[in-house]
């Protein structure tokens, strides 16, 4: 984060790229996301020395090695705990968390929901490939039911997480979805997430061409997108299709459903409102598709302004200091009841 009025040196993608050899499988969707982020950083008005990328464990978690910024490759599922401490103690920094569907939603799931509900000021990029790639192809928390993998030879019986629904359930103030095959949409979504003050969560559909190739091709393949991706644009009717002939509407039971505009009429088309205080509308849209094989909303689901966790803590400490004076650590440790161990 750069203070207002402070000039930021011009940079290029090369300035944000480290000297480390990028080691992902050839054809992995992570390459596309890395390139998009490296291309975007010069446009955000940031300083590399004020930028931090933190990750846990997984293929996506190699990300900090490839950014020429400060970074930390943490332990499995703990990236958000580390990032929370940094974001709260150093509000002058831009803190990014790169995680995956395994790292962020399995062992790290508890940290994710609490980071989002607290509205910690950081940006979370969750790469979702519906598989454990680093450990060679076990099912993940987003794998579909019936998924046959090395750890589920008879098919998974677990009901999968919907990452966007999960984030909205935690009342995250910014929630979005994009994918690795549309660089323009990817960059613009990440830009908006970064510019948001508070916890920003972006699910990125990312293809693992070795262990789960084509998991999203029914909706992200170029020829499929007009009929299968539903763009969410604030203040605009939710329409899609080659000629915008299809739409999202709300039925008499208050459920979102897909319809033909000609059948329901223009007035019945749902108008997207990402700034609505209550998350119900965004949550309803997140449940529109049962998986990436049905028409799937993409874009920003929710973007509302609320005080972030660090600012609230800072205000609380300021008020306590004004009321009681500066703290005395020695008195705290030696005063009152003590125990000798």
The tens digit of pLDDT for each residue in 77-91 reads 999 999 999 999 999
Check residue 326 and give its pLDDT.
Answer: 83
Strands (E), 56-186: 70-73, 94-100, 122-128, 174-179
The domain locations on the chain are 13-215+307-315
C-beta atoms surrounding 78 within 10 Å: 17
Residues 6+ positions from 223 with CB-CB distance below 8 Å: none
The tens digit of pLDDT for each residue in 122-163 reads 999 999 999 999 999 999 999 999 999 999 999 999 999 999
pLDDT level of residue 264 (50, 70, 90 thresholds): very high
Check residue 337 and give its pLDDT.
Answer: 72
Whether residue 20 has pLDDT greater than 70:
yes
Q: What is the DSSP string of 289-318?
A: -SSTTS-EEEEEEEE-----HHHHHHHHHH
Whether residue 72 has pLDDT greater than 70:
yes
| CA–CA distance, 287 with 285 (Å, rounded to integer) | 5
CATH number of 13-215+307-315: 3.40.50.970
Check residue 5 and give its pLDDT.
Answer: 60
pTM: 0.94
């Amino acid at each position: 984060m750069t203070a207002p009025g402070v000039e930021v040196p011009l940079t290029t993608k090369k300035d944000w790229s480290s000297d480390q050899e990028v080691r992902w499988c050839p054809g992995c969707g992570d390459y596309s996301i890395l390139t998009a982020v490296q291309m975007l950083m010069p446009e955000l008005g940031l300083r590399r020395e004020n930028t931090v990328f933190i990750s846990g464990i997984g293929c996506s978690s190699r990300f900090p090695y490839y950014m020429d910024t400060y970074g930390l490759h943490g332990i499995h599922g703990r990236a958000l705990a580390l990032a929370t401490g940094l974001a709260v103690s150093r509000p002058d920094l831009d803190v990014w968390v790169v995680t995956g569907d395994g790292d962020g939603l399995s062992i790290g799931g508890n940290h994710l929901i609490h980071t989002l509900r607290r509205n910690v000021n950081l940006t979370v990029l969750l790469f979702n490939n519906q598989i454990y790639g680093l450990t060679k192809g076990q099912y993940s928390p987003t794998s579909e039911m019936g998924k046959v993998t090395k750890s589920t030879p008879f098919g998974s019986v677990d009901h999968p997480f919907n990452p966007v629904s999960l984030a909205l359930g935690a009342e995250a103030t910014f929630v979005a979805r994009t994918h690795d095959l549309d660089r323009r949409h990817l960059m613009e979504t990440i830009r908006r997430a970064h510019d948001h003050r508070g916890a920003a969560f972006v699910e990125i559909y990312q293809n693992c061409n070795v262990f789960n190739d084509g998991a999203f091709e029914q909706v992200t393949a170029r020829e499929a997108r007009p009929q299968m991706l539903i763009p969410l644009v604030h203040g605009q009717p939710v329409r899609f299709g080659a000629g915008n002939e299809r739409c999202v509407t709300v039925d008499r039971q208050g459920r979102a459903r897909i319809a033909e505009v000609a059948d329901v009429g223009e007035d019945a088309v749902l108008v997207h409102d990402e700034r609505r205080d209550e998350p119900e509308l965004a949550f309803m849209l997140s449940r529109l598709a049962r998986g990436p094989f049905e028409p799937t909303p993409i874009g920003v689901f929710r973007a509302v302004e609320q005080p972030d966790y660090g600012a609230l803590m800072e205000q609380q400490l300021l008020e306590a200091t004004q009321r009681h004076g500066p703290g005395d650590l020695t008195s705290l440790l030696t005063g009152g009841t003590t125990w000798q161990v």
